[in-house]
Amino acid sequence: MTIREQTTEINSRAVFGTVLVAVFLSNLDLFVVNVALPQIGSDFGGASLGALSWVLNAYAIVFAALLVICGRLADRSGHKRGFLIGIAVFTVGSVLCAVAPGVTLLVVARVVQASGAALLLPTSLALLMAATAPERRAGAVRAWSAAGGVAAALGPVVGGLLVELDWRWIFLVNVPVGVVAIVVGRRVLPESREAEPGPLPDILGAVLLTLAVGTLALSLVQADDWGWGSPQVIGGFVVAAALAVWLLIRSARHASPIIELRLVGAPAFGLATIATLLYSVVFAAILLSGILWAQDVWGYSALRTGLAVAPGPMMVPALAIGAAPLARRLGPGVVAAAGNFLLGGGVAFWLFRLDGTPDYAADYLPGLIMIGIGVGLALPTLFVAATGSLPADRLGTGSGIVTTGRQVGAVIGVALLVGVLGTPATPAAALEAFRDGWTAIVIVAIIAAVTSLFIPRTPAPPSPEAVILPGGVAESDLPASGSAVQDDESAGLAESDVLVGAVEDDSSGSAVQDDESAGVAESDVLVGAVEDDSSGSAAQDDRPVRPEEAEPPSAAEGDQTSGSATEKNNKAEEKVAPDLKAEDRDGVDKGDPMLAEDRT
């Protein structure tokens, strides 16, 4: 390996580590807060569950509203700057959460956190692609996605450990990691941005989405106090619906909308997105209800609760891989429906088995295992079913819509559960309230399963106006900057919070291969990722090059293609390292953009 190659390798690893640590941290935060919620309420003078629910929902609402906007703004100003600002805002938000004296200020601090995460996550993948060699990008994307899976598996246990010290530690732990990521990121992250970022995103559309989802969540949370048939609740539903209609009308007319209606109108994408939203309603309600039951009814500590719920998330990555052959054989709709039915079945098991006498192995764990299997089957399959039907140049926008739908579903799930549980005064009333909540969850899971069954098995079409080059790559899809993943795609790829999927291609040359992508290991805390392999797909940098685009090979490229002379050339380059060519010292070799950044 030459000195130049060694330098590039070191820098790529530094970028890889910086990005993955930040992504892991933002995903971990989702699970630890769920585990800490009862302790937060106790510390704040017995705050109601309805008030505490906004600690979760404020984060999800703001993240959903800002995800696409922040990604597209970062396309214009630069992904490195966006990432560093995002991690800084997330870190400041974590400090504000840790010192919050009450629920209201804690919710405000969570909004700050969500704003940082919405900028941090979509820029992280773009930076990772810019710093990774083409032949290694598929593995880098898998690791980026797996960070969310690991966070999901470790989140309940880590959250339990930190809450045993003090719930404020779940936020304070972010601070030193964030500071280190900023310091290291300033030195090692490459500069990258969209060459033609397009029009500004729809800011008013984001406001309408925030107000619509927030109004709906408020009506659901307060339904127990106000009455389900009260004018306030009914009026809230009407206002939320009106805001949603306004958002749809505006999205149909805006040049850069939050929701692209022509994508939602596609049968495979639209049905898969709706099913994903319904799945997220179920998952969010299951997660919160399982934690509240263990701590509030059975009296488990935060640590014991974390250990109790951990088996479910830990099952998901392996099961997501196993879902791939099933999706190829049976179709994504059948597999996603089976996953949602298992989610409902696990909750139904709790509904009929759980009571006030703790029996984890016999009454809690079997239902949790069914839920874990359901998540592993449903989540990645639904994501792939949605994005797999899209042309390559719409993958970023499509995955952003799916991620937004997941966040909205999570808000509805938490709000619905809180509204149904209410504030029971006795253990018997609590048992009845949880059973009512689980009944509602089972009903939504059945609706999600039935919706999934109608998802068609559709191959990915190329853009109608695209010119197809050898290897199945659409000419219009090639990124001008040579990035493995279009910057416009990275705007919609989040992590956020819990879920996944990846879109791969294979040797058939298809820009998006629905079947292969179903096997990416992920958990319910991340978003989609776009993968590539050696076949020469739209997600890959080693695309066919026209004669007028061809450039003279660099010294490193010549070494790789010179046959038996490779070893001699490498030795010679190392021997005269102090006298490297001027263009190598200056970092202007187009094949190695990292060197220019190192010099700065």
242: number of Cβ within 10 Å: 13
pLDDT in tens, 510-519: 333 333 333 3
Mean per-residue pLDDT for 434-455? 95
What mean pLDDT is predicted for residues 305-334? 84
Using alpha carbons only, give the angle 464, 467, 470 rounded to the nearest 5 degrees: 130
**The pLDDT of residue 404 is above 70:** yes
- The pLDDT tens digits for 181-230 are 899 888 888 877 666 666 788 899 999 999 999 999 999 999 988 999 99
Q: Over the stretch 456-469, which tens digit does the pLDDT of each residue have?
A: 876 544 443 333 22
Whole-angstrom Cα distance, residue 309 to residue 365?
8
Strand, helix or coil for residue 533: coil
On whether the CB atoms of residues 385 and 455 are closer than 8 A, the answer is yes
pLDDT > 80? residue 582? no
CA distance 437 to 439: 5
pLDDT mean across residues, the chain? 75
How many whole angstroms separate alpha carbon 257 and alpha carbon 198? 12
- Residue 309: which region, alpha, beta or left (left: phi > 0; alpha: psi -120 to 50)? alpha
Instruction: Evaluate whether 176 touches 583 at the Cβ level (below 8 Å).
Output: no
Confidence at 329, pLDDT banded by 50, 70, 90: confident
With CA atoms as reference, report the closest residue to 378 among 342, 331, 340: 340
Any residues with CB less than 8 A from the CB of 472 and at least 6 apart, and which?
Answer: 505, 508, 509, 510, 511, 536, 537
Instruction: Say which residue, 236 or 264, is predicted with more confidence.
Output: 236
For residue 341, give the H/E element and its range.
helix 332-353
Would the CA dihedral through 487, 489, 492, 498 be positive or negative?
A: negative
Render pLDDT for 75-112 as a digit per residue (tens, 0 to 9).
778 888 888 999 999 999 999 999 999 999 999 999 99
pLDDT in tens, 1-25: 444 444 445 467 778 888 888 778 8
Amino acid identity of residue 509, one-letter, is: G
Architecture of domain 3-201+256-453: Up-down Bundle (1.20)
pLDDT of residue 149: 67
The per-residue pLDDT for 509 is 34
> Pick the residue with more confidence: 6 or 416?
416
pTM beyond cutoff 0.75: no
What are the structural domain ranges in the chain? 3-201+256-453, 202-255, 550-599
Between CA 489 and CA 71 the distance in angstroms is 9
Question: If you count them, how many residues does the chain have?
Answer: 600
**Chain segment 344-378, per-residue pLDDT in tens:** 999 999 999 999 899 999 999 999 999 999 998 99
**DSSP letters along 213-257, please?**
HHHHHHHHHTHHHH-TTSHHHHHHHHHHHHHHHHHHHHHHH-SS-
Inter-axis angle of helices 395-421 and 267-292, to 10 degrees?
Answer: 40
Percent of the chain with pLDDT strictly greater than 90: 38
